Amino acid sequence: MSRSAGYPFIQATREGLLLSLYIQPSARKDELCGIRAGSLKIRLNAPPVDGKANKRLVEYLARVFGIRRSSVEIVGGHASRRKQVRLKGIEEERVETIVSTLLGRSLQVLINSHRRP
């Protein structure tokens, strides 16, 4: 396993890319909104009950990254705001590009602004 150079929320594994996420359920809309404590922060328009937010997360990530829902798997944190999600069938550079585009800023600038001295 190797962590992405400069992108603390992406880890390459043999099974795919592992993303560290911080989820804010019950938001007004679904959106990728920044970085929080080394995790990619995502707001979801779904309540955290009966697996609704988890289902919405899988659908959202599949749509954003242009992969099938079956290629998105929550592997940790099913009942937590902090989640580990595996993506299959997408290159690390593509994930970085999409995230940077959606955030509208340089990903490296965001990461540097959230690092503790």
Please give, one letter per residue, the 3-state secondary structure of 26-85: CCCCCEEEEEECCEEEEECCCCCCCCHHHHHHHHHHHHHHCCCHHHEEEEECCCCCEEEE
Report the pLDDT value the prediction gives residue 105, as an integer from 0 to 100.
Answer: 62
* Average pLDDT over all residues of the chain: 88
Q: Note the pLDDT tens digit of each residue in 51-101.
A: 999 999 999 999 999 999 999 999 999 999 999 999 999 999 999 999 988
Q: Please, which pLDDT band fits residue 7 given cuts at 50, 70 and 90?
A: confident
- The fold adopted by the segment(s) 2-113 is Conserved Hypothetical Protein Mth637; Chain: A; (3.30.1200)
For residue 27, which of 54, 42, 45, 53 has the smallest C-alpha distance? 45
Coil, strand or helix at 98: helix
Tell me how far apart the alpha carbons of residues 117 and 103 are, in angstroms, rounded to a whole number.
23
Coil, strand or helix at 20: strand
